Chains A and B, each alone.
Chain A
Amino acid sequence: MERSYEKYFRQNRLPHLWCPGCGNGIAMKAIVQAIEKKGLSQDNTVIVSGIGCSSRASGYMDFDTLHTAHGRAIPFATGIKLANPDLNVVVITGDGDCTAIGGNHFIHGCRRNVDLTVVLFNNKIYGMTGGQASPMTPLGKKATTAPYGSIDRPFDACKLAIAAGATYVARSTAYHEQHLVDMIANGFDNKGFSFIEALVQCPTAYGRKNKMGSPANMLKWMRDNAVMQAAWEKLPDDKKQGEKFPIGLFYSATATDYTTAYDAVIERAGGAGK
């Protein structure tokens, strides 16, 4: 029986170009399942992506889509939201796209609390360009630009988003597919900047450099190391060592979103002649 989420894909573009076992396909499915769960209409939802393997997702999704410039998905999305606040605007980005070249756009999108849902596909490396270290490559992990292991302390993009002012911040993984769907779907409910980090396996660049084995083994690594936030909070510090990391909802708050603030300015300035 044909699955209902298939209608959200551009069928003539599949199969996608991602490598065998790449986690991007799982994260892309989670986004369309979240869209379906919340009943967002295809005509009223826009997908905006930057540049990278992850950002290729917009090309497979049957919505109005923009594949923009490296690191610049959030400013394009901000423009769309300001021009037509009624649209649901979803951003797909990578760890390099969002926290390296696009790092400033990211924190200022958070600061302004623009009503976007940003999903970061975190494979901890620049996949598309052959495996350079990104600002989210963990300490000691290898990349073509870090053959002895990275000595640059990585960003925790979720903590960065919270500190910068995002009003919904969560993390999940490709292994926890249904949980990822929920984290994204709940992000749609927030009127403000929603940020969801989705860990995805990149067997070709990150996995191979770091001897993580098959794509299935990379998924099992997520299963074995992710800890639900409620349990994580109860863990003593010495148990938070090693490769363990928390997933779940980290933060949510209510604050005036950018289009509401901007509407108030338009009002004070005498209206936009609508």
Chain B
Amino acid sequence: MKSDITIKMARCKGCGICVAFCPREVLALDELGKVKVVNGEACIACGQCELRCPDYAIFVDKLSDGGTAKEAAQ
């Protein structure tokens, strides 16, 4: 894992912007039309999804090699 992806599900409106701009097909919309991570390993932490989400529903933190999400947040 190179990144830690946080989703604030209550904010997501399923507009698909993050899905369309993700260069690695990490994201998709689920049956309810909300964002979901389908291929987290492929994420390069480019931040396109977070930058373009109009609802501040998705956040990506880069992890240092071998780090855990918690460590990266500190």
Contact = CB atoms under 8 A, between A and B. Distances in A.
Nearest to B50: A3
Interface stretch (A22-30, A83-91, A99-107): A22-30
Given A24-B54, A26-B54, A1 B72 contact: yes
Contacts of B13: 15, 19-21
* B-side interface mostly: mixed
Nearest to A177: B51
Interface in A25-51: 25-26, 29
B11 interface: yes
Contact of B54 (A3, A6, A21, A178): A21
B20 interface: yes
B15 interface: yes
Q: How large is the interface on A (under 10, 10 to 19, 20 to 34, 35 or more residues)?
A: 20 to 34
A216 B21 contact: yes
A203 B6 CA distance: 26
A63 interface: no
A39 to B, nearest CB: 21
A16 B55 contact: yes
Contact of B55 (A1, A15, A203, A219): A15
A231 interface: no
Contacts of A14: 11, 56
A219 B56 contact: no
A214 interface: yes
B56 A29 contact: yes
22 contacts: A1-B61, A1-B72, A1-B73, A3-B56, A14-B56, A15-B10, A20-B15, A21-B16, A22-B54, A24-B54, A25-B53, A25-B55, A25-B56, A175-B52, A203-B15, A214-B15, A215-B15, A216-B15, A216-B16, A216-B19, A217-B20, A219-B21
Interface of B: 6, 10-11, 13-17, 19-21, 51-57, 59, 61, 72-73
